[in-house]
Amino acid sequence: MIALVLAFLLVAQEPAAPPAGADAPIATAEPASPVAPTPPEAPALPTGAPTDDYGLVGWCLGVLEGYLAQHDRVMPDVTRIESTYRRPGSSLEDDLKVYADQQAQGRLHLAAFTKALQTAEKASLSALRPRGEAAIAKGRSVWAPAANLPTRSVAQQWMGWTLPKACPIAAERLTLNAALLGAAFDPNAEMPPPPAPEVSATEPPPSPEPASTEPGAPAEPLPNSAPLTQPDAPASETLPEAPFEAPAPEAPPSLRESPGAR
């Protein structure tokens, strides 16, 4: 009897077994490693423009001057086009104001481009001005075919033209580098190329598509093709760097960018 009492007391003193999983550590998700932000892609260089900052800014100044110089000639046709093709609920006055804003923004860009060129010329130990003048003339030549085209065609191209995004970026970089580096400034430094597309290590890079050999197959259009020679022929969308592709059917652009984006 005494043995049974002792056994009962020993069992009562033992702690109760915890429920399954009560003392198990709580599983937590591992903290995610920080993901580096993807750097913005460098804007593509305009086809045919110089690849160094100094030459590119000169080219941009020239092509922008050519665009601004067409304003007085094309605005009567632009007004006629805008008045004829109206979007529901849109204001003709607001739409025409866009072009005035673009002229004002263009003049601000011209001032920035001129300042960048002058800053580089002062910092460089070599004479840059002759090369700058050649780059400006090359940019102006983009609009040279307009002199021999109907105003209606020029107006359509002019309405959809935009300043290449690489232009203000190159001007800002040129001004900064010339001011900071002084005598060490290299005016021949080229713009950084756009980053190459990433290729998976397990996948072979895509092979280029073979050119079409079928008779009469159209050649792939170039961004800066030759000046327009057939103004009445239909054409594809105009690229910012080549305003004189064949004109699209007469109509105002369906979407407009804000002046600051030009």
The answer to whether residue 135 is domain-embedded is yes
Specify the pLDDT at position 128: 87
What percentage of the chain carries pLDDT values higher than 90? 44
- pLDDT at 240 > cutoff 60: no
In contact, 135 and 62? CB cutoff 8 Å: yes
The answer to whether residues 242 and 223 touch, using CB atoms and an 8 Å cutoff, is yes
- Look up residue 25 and give its two tokens: 């550590």
Predicted model pTM? 0.61
- As a whole-number percent, the residues of the chain with pLDDT over 70 amount to 53
Question: For residue 45, is it within any domain?
Answer: no
Which of 24-33, 40-49, 238-247 has the least mean pLDDT? Answer: 238-247
Q: Is 259 domain-assigned?
A: no
- In angstroms, the CA 149 to CA 244 distance is 9
pLDDT at 33: 60
Average pLDDT over residues 79-85: 92
d(CA 109, CA 87): 30
State the average pLDDT over residues 124-135: 89
- 32 domain-assigned: no
Which contacts (CB < 8 Å, 24+ apart) does range 222-228 have?
A: 222/47, 223/47, 224/46, 224/47, 224/48, 227/144, 227/145, 228/145, 228/149, 228/153
- Among 76-80, 147-151, 177-181, 199-203, the minimum mean pLDDT is found in 199-203
State the pLDDT at residue 214: 41
- Residue 204: inside a domain: no
- Does any domain span residue 165? yes
Cα–Cα distance for residue pair 153/59, rounded to 1 Å: 24
The end-to-end CA distance of the chain, in Å, is 102
Residue 220: closest CA among 205, 232, 236: 236
Residue 118 lies in a domain: yes
Nearest Cα to Cα of residue 227 among 134, 136, 165, 153: 153
In a domain, 7, yes or no: no
Residues in CB range of 130: below 8 A, 6 or more apart: none
In the numeric block, the tokens 């102006």 are attached to 140
Please give the residue range of the domain that contains residue 245.
53-183+240-251
For the cut 90, the answer to whether the pLDDT of residue 22 exceeds it is no
Beta-bridged to residue 239, according to DSSP, are: 242
**Higher local confidence (pLDDT), 25 or 136:** 136
Query: How far is it, in rounded angstroms, from Cα 162 to Cα 256?
Result: 10
* Residue 74 predicted with pLDDT over 80: yes
Number of domain units in the chain: 1
- The model's confidence at residue 35, banded by pLDDT at 50, 70 and 90, is low
**Burial environment of residue 93 by CB neighbours within 10 A (0 to 12, 13 to 18, 19 or more):** exposed
Cα–Cα distance, 193 to 43 (Å, whole number):
9
Highest mean predicted confidence (pLDDT) among 152-161, 180-189, 226-235:
152-161
pLDDT at 12: 56
Q: Residue 163 pLDDT more than 60?
A: yes
Q: What is the CA radius of gyration of the chain?
A: 33
For the chain, counts of helices (H) and of strands (E): 7, 0
pLDDT at residue 106 above 60?
yes
